[in-house]
Amino acid sequence: MTVAAATGHIDRLLARRTAANERFFAAEAERTACLCHLMAERFARGGRLVALGASPQARSDVRHVAVEFVHPVIVGKRALPAVGLSREGGALTPQVDLIAEPDDIAIVYGAEERDPEALAALDAARGRGCLTVAYAKGAGAEWEFDPPSEEPFVRQELAETHYHVLWELVHVFFEHRGLLGAARHGPSTTPAPQAFCI
């Protein structure tokens, strides 16, 4: 392969990734903002982020998102409580049963692979009252985001970018505490995602 051919191939791959990012975030901007508002309210009431995943790829995202919330990279942003649950701690569902609380936010990774263990853990988290998020349609989460690509690495990249946006926007709501009125009233049921927005 010549340098020109390799460069052209890389340019095409980059263009596909860029187009997927633009489609995903244009389509999901409003829902993402609504989800972040709900997440900020739960964090304000003492909730935690509980990331779940069983496969090796999913475990990578579990660790990454937990660190993202616990260890802020921007000076002045508060650390938010987060824990990552993966197979190293045993089967996922018993871990969820042990740790998940009603005001927690459960994000499952591996749902797009239809991993039965990840889906069962998601179901357990939902049963415990957690706000549930997945990066696959039909996973059974209240908030499902479907990155628009057939390429697994692009899907993972879009999910990673999305959870960085979640972190950023949760902090925007913390900077505008008046928007977190529901946080003062204790645990509540989650409004239907389509009906709720800021």
Do 132 and 126 meet the contact criterion of CB atoms below 8 Å apart?
A: yes
One digit per residue, pLDDT tens: the chain, 198 residues? 788 777 888 888 889 899 999 999 999 999 999 999 999 999 999 999 999 998 888 999 999 999 999 987 788 888 999 999 998 889 999 999 999 999 999 999 987 778 899 999 999 999 999 999 999 899 999 999 999 998 888 999 999 999 999 999 999 998 887 777 654 444 444 444 443 454
Instruction: List strand residue ranges (DSSP E) for 93-136, in order.
Output: 105-109, 131-134
- pLDDT computed for residue 197 by the predictor: 52
Helix/strand/coil for 32: helix
- pLDDT computed for residue 89 by the predictor: 83
Sequence ranges of the domains in the chain: 3-179
Of the CATH numbers 3.40.50.10490, 3.40.640.10, 3.10.20.30, 3.40.50.300, which one belongs to the domain with range 3-179? 3.40.50.10490
Crossing angle for the helix pair 152-175 and 3-44, nearest 10 degrees?
40
Do 142 and 133 meet the contact criterion of CB atoms below 8 Å apart?
A: yes
Do 83 and 48 meet the contact criterion of CB atoms below 8 Å apart?
A: yes
CA–CA distance, 27 with 109 (Å, rounded to integer)? 21
CA–CA distance, 156 with 31 (Å, rounded to integer)? 19
